[in-house]
Amino acid sequence: MHVLESIQEWRQVRKSIQGTVGLVPTMGALHEGHLSLVQQSSLDNDVTVLSIFVNPTQFNETDDLVNYPRALKQDLALLEGLDVDYVLLPHYQEMYPDDYRYSMTESLISHELEGTQRPGHFNGMLTVVLKLLNLARPQKAYFGEKDYQQLILVRDMVNAFFLDVEIVGCSTVREEDGLAMASRNQRLSSEQRARAYRFSEVLASDKSCEEMTTDLEEAGFVVEYVAKRYGRVLGAVQIDNVRLIDNVACEHTV
């Protein structure tokens, strides 16, 4: 496993890579969900590239960026036992030499649900994903279905700009009690974690959005939204100071 912090060095290395490349973009604080993306990439491709970059342009709140979990030493140790060929650790100055003067925007899906709650989030996400796709030049790139709006937007961007890459969505990996694995779960206290499972349980209950909202509020969550879109039930809640998102498949959407 080769760890590269310099984009210029990576671009030289990329010229020498033979065979198919799979990209797994992450912001670190890796968990089993990320590792499942790596495993799928290693099955599908000759070479797997994983990036770790906490992208500041997709955080709409400074406190969220400051508190986002960072565990690089542990992340690299986790990856050592997997079929990861290259780990990219770019720095902000190289990723944004323009200091974010140029950005990718979308005018429809990015303005609802997560886009309403986190203004500017999807602009930053799409911008950094486009940069990573251009740098890695993969045949396939892997994203978890937990961030379902993100997955849709990335696929649509790739299609809109004729990018020669397949975006592969991978199923959400869950804890034994159903909670979707997420880096932010590391911020949950033991008491918060004991309640968190109710989020996924309620979303899977086949009730109306209004009924699910009531159930979640009664369970002690602050509900940002529960909505049926894209063949899914999507939700975002807060447990005290920790924000969680999730989604489950459903038959009927509005």
> Is residue 240 one of the residues assigned to a domain?
yes
- The domain that contains 34 carries what CATH number? 3.40.50.620
Q: What is the 3-state secondary structure (H, E, C) of 169-193?
A: EECCCECCCCCECCHHHHHCCHHHH
86 and 197 in a single domain? The answer is: no
Label residue 252 by pLDDT band (50, 70, 90).
low
Known catalytic residue: 34?
Answer: yes
> Is residue 252 one of the residues assigned to a domain?
no
> Is residue 178 one of the residues assigned to a domain?
no
202 and 89 in a single domain? The answer is: no
39 and 87 in a single domain? The answer is: yes
Please tell me the pTM assigned to this model: 0.95
For the chain, what percentages of helix, strand and coil (3-state, to nearest 5) are there? 45, 20, 35
156 and 110 in a single domain? The answer is: yes
- The domain that contains 233 carries what CATH number? 3.30.1300.10
Express each pLDDT in 179-206 by its tens digit. Answer: 999 999 999 999 999 999 999 999 999 8
> Is residue 175 one of the residues assigned to a domain?
no
Name the percent of the chain lying above pLDDT 70.
99
> Is residue 176 one of the residues assigned to a domain?
no
Q: Can you give the pLDDT at residue 67?
A: 87
Q: Which residues pair with 142 in a beta bridge?
A: 168
Domain end marker among 170, 194, 217? 170
- Structural domain count, the chain: 2
Q: How far apart are CA 2 and CA 109, in angstroms?
A: 37
**Residue 209 belongs to domain spanning:** 183-246
**Which of 34, 91, 111, 121 does the annotation list as catalytic?**
34
CB neighbour list of residue 184: distance below 8 Å, 6 or more residues apart? 68, 69, 242, 243, 244
> Is residue 160 one of the residues assigned to a domain?
yes
Q: Can you give the pLDDT at residue 88?
A: 98
Domain end marker among 145, 170, 195? 170
148 and 115 in a single domain? The answer is: yes
Q: Is the pLDDT of residue 254 over 60?
A: no
Express each pLDDT in 45-81 by its tens digit. Answer: 999 999 999 999 999 889 889 989 899 999 999 999 8
193 and 128 in a single domain? The answer is: no
Q: How far apart are CA 32 and CA 89, in angstroms?
A: 20
Phi, psi of 238 (to 5 degrees): -125, 135
Q: Is the pLDDT of residue 216 over 80?
A: yes
CB 131 within 8 A of CB 97: no
Domain end marker among 170, 196, 229? 170
Q: Can you give the pLDDT at residue 253?
A: 57
38 and 156 in a single domain? The answer is: yes
Of 238, 147, 141, the residue nearest 187 (C-alpha): 238
149 and 187 in a single domain? The answer is: no
148 and 22 in a single domain? The answer is: yes
Q: Can you give the pLDDT at residue 251?
A: 73
